[in-house]
A and B are shown apart, each in its own frame.
Chain A
Amino acid sequence: MSITWTETHSLKLSCLLVRIIMVLALVALFFIPLCTEWYDAVSEQEPIRLQLNICFYLCDAVAMVAIWQLDRMLFRIRRSQIFVPENVTTLRILSWACIAIGVILGVLTIWRTIMLLVMLVCLFLGVLLRVLKNVFAMAVALQEESDYTI
């Protein structure tokens, strides 16, 4: 399967964006305590700095795994390996990562109800990726059948 000029540039842009997000996730590791401290200072509700720190660090760890998987997937797509089982695995990991982040942020709804919205968005994204993974798995099977039709 050949990749056209526009697709190559679109892929390069995706790779660049993923790398930027990867750097941001790494930088966030150092700034999470500062951000939660600031949030507690401006928030008029009960302080939840410790809970926020724990949840955000957990989310950052999961996000870094997801971003790394996304980077690997883009690398494979650049090598024209699109409908391969590795990409199905990556989509499965990404889906579970979104669901995990949703659950972690869901814990914060105990103290901040607004987190329910973020949790629902993450869970929806996780389900969406799961459906995409199912479609990809079917595509892999079809590709394999096509490759082995003589």
Chain B
Amino acid sequence: MPIIVNLDVMMAKRKISAGELAERIEITPANLSILKNNKAKAIRFSTLEALCKALDCQPGDILAYEPDGEEQRNE
């Protein structure tokens, strides 16, 4: 999927652990791990809002669009 979740980068910038962030945004550490490892298929606005609030950032700081090889060839 060309949407990349840069959660680990923001977490490192804010010096916050996965456990602490999971607790703050009220999701399970397992779900946070899915999100962090780019395994998620979708993200709810409520989760994104909680993440932005907890990390004091914008959605664009967490999400990025990187076209994969197939899409680049089509352009």
A149 neighbours in B (Cβ, 8 Å): 40-44
> B residues engaging A (CB < 8 A)?
27, 31-32, 34-35, 39-44, 47
Minimum CB–CB distance from B11 to chain A (whole Å) comes to 15
Minimum CB–CB distance from B54 to chain A (whole Å) comes to 14
* Secondary structure call for the A interface: mixed
B39 neighbours in A (Cβ, 8 Å): 148
Q: Count of A residues near B, CB < 8 Å?
A: 5
> A residues engaging B (CB < 8 A)?
144-145, 148-150
- Among B27, B41, B47, point to the contact of A144 (Cβ < 8 A): B41
In angstroms, Cα B40 to Cα A54, docked, is: 53
Q: Can you identify 11 A-B contacts, CB atoms within 8 angstroms?
A: A145-B42, A148-B39, A149-B42, A149-B44, A150-B27, A150-B31, A150-B32, A150-B34, A150-B40, A150-B44, A150-B47
In angstroms, Cα B42 to Cα A150, docked, is: 6
CB nearest neighbor in A for B27: A150
In angstroms, Cα B40 to Cα A149, docked, is: 6
A145 neighbours in B (Cβ, 8 Å): 41-42
